[in-house]
Amino acid sequence: MNNKIAAIILGAGKGTRMKSDLPKVMMPVCGKPMVKHIIDTLEEMKVDEIVTVIAPDGDIVKKEVAPYKTCVQDKQLGTGHAVNCSASLLKDFDGPIMVIFGDTPLIKKETFERSVNKVKEGYSVVVLGFRPEDPARYGRLVMKGDVLDRIVEYKDATEEERTINFCNSGFMAFDGKVLFEILNKIGNENAAGEYYLTDAVKVASEMGLKCTAFEGDEKEVASANTREELAMLEKFLENRKNA
């Protein structure tokens, strides 16, 4: 594996629940769009390739992330489909590839680096987990020792699985050599008819590849879907700066 690192930022979401016409990743946290916080962190760790997945009307995001590349997700067919939209740009990339949700702007450089190191250790899929005060409806990470066996969505979890408090943050890292092969094997046999990135763990395991998860801080993986959550991110970031 080469030492180059790539990142895919998922930035095609709309700001509907923010009651804004702006794409969600353009909503500001401490005066800067969420997506710009992520790019600043990636630049700090000298990531070699950054690709942002945008909506067909995502020109404002395209301008914000320039000079880095973008690709368009024509239809909202799920997170797995969104990542796969970058295949034409990254299909020959054989280093670690991080997949970052554009509404999680507080993940630290050290956490990204930990995920990359896990890929370099031989894991094909690496998931960032966390232990929230209220696990509520988060997907559960089912571990067998150091191996991530599967991600179970809350609605599909058994009573026993719902007692697990190790939850999925959404952030994942992959071995670039197998990422798109994994994505192409993900199906959409679910109620929404969408291709879920979380299914990558099951697919990779069936391919005989190793998956793992490691623990991050709840505040670091916080995301924003509403104005209230946006204000919470600002508070977390201000506290971090003042610490």
Active site residues: 17
Q: Which of 72, 189, 172, 184 is nearest to 115 (CA)?
A: 172
The token pair that represents 240 in the structure block? 């971090």
Q: Which of 70, 59, 60 is nearest to 8 (CA)?
A: 70
